[in-house]
Chain A
Amino acid sequence: MVAKAQVLEEEKLPVAPAKDSVAASEVSLYRNVLKIKNEHTLENLGIAFYDAQTTIQWAYNGDQYFHAASTMKLAVLLGVFRQVERGELSLEAAVHIRNRFTSIVNQQPFMLDLGRDADPDVYGHLGRTLTIRELAYWMITKSSNLATNLLVEVVGVPTIQHALDELEIDGVRILRGVEDQAAFEAGLNNEVTANGLLKMLRLIADGRAYSKVASDEMLNIMLEQQYRSGIPAGLPKAARVAHKTGNISTVHHDAGIVFVEDRKPYVLVILTQFPAESARGTAVADVSRDIYNTIAGMTYE
């Protein structure tokens, strides 16, 4: 079945380009991506990458929307630094750590299931305070849902969406914080496209997300990411990745900026959606490896 699907896709390809060309690399990449998609029985796959070294940009289903899962936390980070840059928020401002939020649907209060949140560093401070900087750090590096919802409460969803709009980042829609079950049941979810996240990460990588200082702050937080089963798992150990993962029951995403020695960084977004009965698998790492190999072997035309 897998082989047949692969053959069908290959039949659609144009006449093979010269073997050492960029076009050949893209065709090869396209084939490999389809292979990975079939091997992992993915329902959906979205990829976007931009290589600052060769200035090549490539996407597969780049404009298809996926449930954002925790990749939405990048947008929250952007919203936080917007307010910091405008002087409306201090990174050292204290925030009361409280597990009580309001649903966007019925305005009813809800609490996070702290057993699911991987971050005792935040919920261990219940009743006390952490700074905005600390919350931003835990939100990204350990994907703390509690930190995320607290920051969403501080800056507000409209501000986050406004930040995306003013930086002309299409393809990232933020409606709410996380674990708002009533909103989830009403179909109100945060959504992202691979191209949308790519745009955001490129701004950060280029130092254009509000300012060089703000971009560097965000980049440094992302470099401390503690979950490394996505993009980093497909790279040589020496590679450094500033990234954010996103996992819920049927999606596994990773979006990051990859720093490899002696070359400019490349930005990579991999969004995967798999059937409910399937395990998460290694599709993201496999795509990451494939793209790294492609870039490593790429020659200029």
Chain B
Amino acid sequence: MSEPQQIKVVDAFDLDDELRSLLKPGEMVRDAQGRRKRLPRYFYEIPTHDAAIQIRLTPHFGINEFILVDLKEAQRLQQFPRYIPCAVRLLAFFLEQFRTVAGASIHIAVNGGYRSPAHKMSINATEHMWGTAADIYRIGPNILKTQELIAKFNDVAEELSDDVTVMKYGHDTGISVDDHVHIDLGYVTVVPREISEDRMEVPQENRPRFAFEERRRRERRAPQIAVTANNKSE
């Protein structure tokens, strides 16, 4: 947990339209069972690739390990500054413990950390969209591709806490895994200390009005304009 103050926290409502449409802060999504979940709103902003490497969440986990994605992620979200939900710090904390018990380095797969709602694998709500899930493909020298290895490390993870959930070995995508260990903490959101959730009390960056409010104002106005136009044409 070294120097957390180095990471800037942002309210995703303050981000530009494109980023908000990709990150969908505060929006509801359904999981595979149809249960509604509210997406996180507060994100760490990672300005550069170098910063991603330098920022440590725990002694053995840098923030860069949680933002590795491939072309399945939206292109804008592959560019810096990058954004990751603040709950990733909790995940890193548990992974650090997992690493200690497993006695070996933990390797999170590409697309195995944070996945935005725009990521092509984000069909339903998954804990990856909250930054609270990790897919681990290698532990020490072991590539996790056998039932024995996956079951062994699942047991290790489950021993850490009742809050840790794993996926059992199997071949059903989204339900079981056969080439990695999946660890998650559930749909946890974090409101960092420095944030005030009452936006009217503490305007961010001297903005008198917030982006979502602007958008709603525009939406409210739009139908009236349309009606006026229709009236004119009639």
Question: Which candidate, A88-96, A136-144, A171-179, A291-299, is the interface stretch facing chain B?
Answer: A88-96
Question: Which candidate, B22-30, B56-64, B103-111, is the interface stretch facing chain A?
Answer: B103-111
Let me know if A109 and B68 touch, CB within 8 A.
no
Q: Which residues of B lie under 8 Å from residue A128 when comparing CB positions?
A: 68, 109-110
Let me know if B179 and A98 touch, CB within 8 A.
yes
How many residue pairs bridge A and B at CB < 8 Å?
50
B71 CB within 8 Å of chain A: yes
A111-B179 CB under 8 A given contacts A94-B71, A95-B70, A95-B71: yes
A108 CB within 8 Å of chain B: yes
Is the contact region of chain A dominated by helix, strand, or loop, or is it mixed?
loop
Let me know if A129 and B179 touch, CB within 8 A.
no
A100-B109 CB under 8 A given contacts A126-B143, A127-B137: no
Q: Which residues of B lie under 8 Å from residue A93 when comparing CB positions?
A: 70-71
A99 CB within 8 Å of chain B: yes
B173 CB within 8 Å of chain A: yes
User: Which chain B residues numbered 39 to 77 have a C-beta less than 8 Å away from chain A?
Assistant: 68-72
Chain A 107-129: CB-based contact to B (< 8 A → 1; otherwise 0): 01101000000000000001111
User: Which chain A residues numbered 152 to 166 have a C-beta less than 8 Å away from chain B?
Assistant: 154
Q: Which one, A89, A95, A97, A109, contacts B178 given CB within 8 A?
A: A109
Q: Which residues of A lie under 8 Å from residue B109 when comparing CB positions?
A: 96, 98, 127-128
Let me know if B179 and A100 touch, CB within 8 A.
yes
User: Which chain A residues numbered 234 to 282 have a C-beta less than 8 Å away from chain B?
Assistant: none
Q: Which one, A99, A132, A154, contacts B179 given CB within 8 A?
A: A99
Let me know if B110 and A154 touch, CB within 8 A.
no
- Bound complex: CA of A127 vs CA of B143, how far in Å? 9
- Bound complex: CA of A98 vs CA of B180, how far in Å? 10
- Bound complex: CA of A94 vs CA of B69, how far in Å? 8
Q: Which one, B78, B110, B173, contacts A96 given CB within 8 A?
A: B110
Q: Which residues of A lie under 8 Å from residue B68 when comparing CB positions?
A: 128-129
Q: Closest residue to B109 on the A side, CB-wise?
A: A127
User: Which chain B residues numbered 135 to 188 have a C-beta less than 8 Å away from chain A?
Assistant: 137-138, 143, 145, 171, 173, 178-180
Let me know if A129 and B110 touch, CB within 8 A.
yes
Q: Which residues of B lie under 8 Å from residue A108 when comparing CB positions?
A: 171
Let me know if A111 and B107 touch, CB within 8 A.
no
Let me know if A94 and B179 touch, CB within 8 A.
no
Chain A interface residue bracket vs B: 10 to 19
Q: Closest residue to A92 on the B side, CB-wise?
A: B71
Let me know if B107 and A127 touch, CB within 8 A.
yes
Q: Closest residue to A95 on the B side, CB-wise?
A: B70
Q: Tell me the minimal C-beta distance from A179 to chain B in angstroms.
A: 15
Q: Which residues of B lie under 8 Å from residue A132 when comparing CB positions?
A: 71
Q: Which residues of B lie under 8 Å from residue A95 when comparing CB positions?
A: 70-71
Q: Tell me the minimal C-beta distance from B124 to chain A in angstroms.
A: 18
Q: Which residues of A lie under 8 Å from residue B71 when comparing CB positions?
A: 89-90, 93-95, 132, 154
- Bound complex: CA of A127 vs CA of B112, how far in Å? 9
Q: Which residues of B lie under 8 Å from residue A99 when comparing CB positions?
A: 145, 179
Q: Tell me the minimal C-beta distance from A32 to chain B in angstroms.
A: 48
Q: Closest residue to B78 on the A side, CB-wise?
A: A94
Let me know if B143 and A100 touch, CB within 8 A.
no
Q: Which residues of A lie under 8 Å from residue B179 when comparing CB positions?
A: 98-100, 111
Q: Which residues of A lie under 8 Å from residue B178 when comparing CB positions?
A: 100, 109, 111
- Bound complex: CA of A98 vs CA of B72, how far in Å? 13
Q: Tell me the minimal C-beta distance from B139 to chain A in angstroms.
A: 11
**Residue among B69, B71, B112, B138 with most chain A CB within 10 A:** B71
- Bound complex: CA of A111 vs CA of B178, how far in Å? 10
Q: Closest residue to A108 on the B side, CB-wise?
A: B171
- Bound complex: CA of A53 vs CA of B75, how far in Å? 46
A127-B110 CB under 8 A given contacts A100-B179, A111-B145: yes
Let me know if A127 and B138 touch, CB within 8 A.
yes
Q: Which residues of A lie under 8 Å from residue B180 when comparing CB positions?
A: 127
> Could you show 18 A-B contacts with beta carbons less than 8 Å apart?
A94-B69, A94-B110, A95-B71, A96-B109, A96-B110, A98-B137, A99-B145, A109-B178, A111-B145, A111-B178, A126-B137, A126-B143, A127-B109, A127-B138, A127-B180, A128-B109, A128-B110, A132-B71
Binding site for A on B (CB under 8 A): 68-72, 78, 107, 109-112, 137-138, 143, 145, 171, 173, 178-180
Binding site for B on A (CB under 8 A): 89-90, 93-100, 108-109, 111, 126-129, 132, 154
Instruction: In the A-B complex, list the 5 residue pairs whose CB atoms are closest, starting with the nearest.
Output: A127-B137, A96-B110, A93-B71, A96-B70, A127-B109
Other than A93-B71, A127-B107, A127-B138, give 15 A-B pairs with Cβ distance below 8 A: A89-B71, A94-B69, A94-B71, A94-B78, A95-B71, A96-B70, A96-B109, A98-B179, A99-B145, A99-B179, A100-B179, A126-B138, A127-B180, A128-B110, A129-B110
